[in-house]
Amino acid sequence: MQPSEALGVAAQVAVTLAGFAGIVVVFRPQAVHEWSALDRLRLTLLLMNSLSPLVFSLFGMLLLSVDPEPASIWRWCSGFAFVSEILVFVSMQNPQRRLPVHDLRMVNKFTMYGIGLMTMAAAALQVVNFAVWNFFWPFFTAIFVHLFAAVIQFLRMLLVPPSRA
**Domain extent for 9:** 3-159
75 domain residue, yes or no: yes
Q: How far is CA 91 from CA 37, 128, 163, in A?
A: 17, 24, 25
**Residue 130 placed within a domain:** yes
Rounded distance between C-alpha atoms, residue 6 and residue 162, angstroms: 35
What are 112-158's pLDDT values in tens digits? 899 999 999 999 999 999 999 999 999 999 999 999 999 999 998 88
**pTM for the predicted model, two decimal places:** 0.91
Residue (of 65, 45, 68) closest to 57 by Cα position: 65
164 located within any domain:
no
Is 56 inside any structural domain?
A: yes
Considering only 10-14, 29-33, 78-82, which range has the smallest mean pLDDT? 29-33
pLDDT digits (tens, 9 = 90+) for 71-87: 999 999 999 999 999 99
Kindly state whether residue 165 falls inside one of the protein's structural domains. no
Closest CA to 136 of 85, 64, 54: 64
Tabulate helix, strand, coil % of the chain (nearest 5).
80, 0, 20
What's the total number of domains in the chain?
A: 1
Determine the pLDDT at residue 8: 97
* Assigned domain for 90 exists: yes
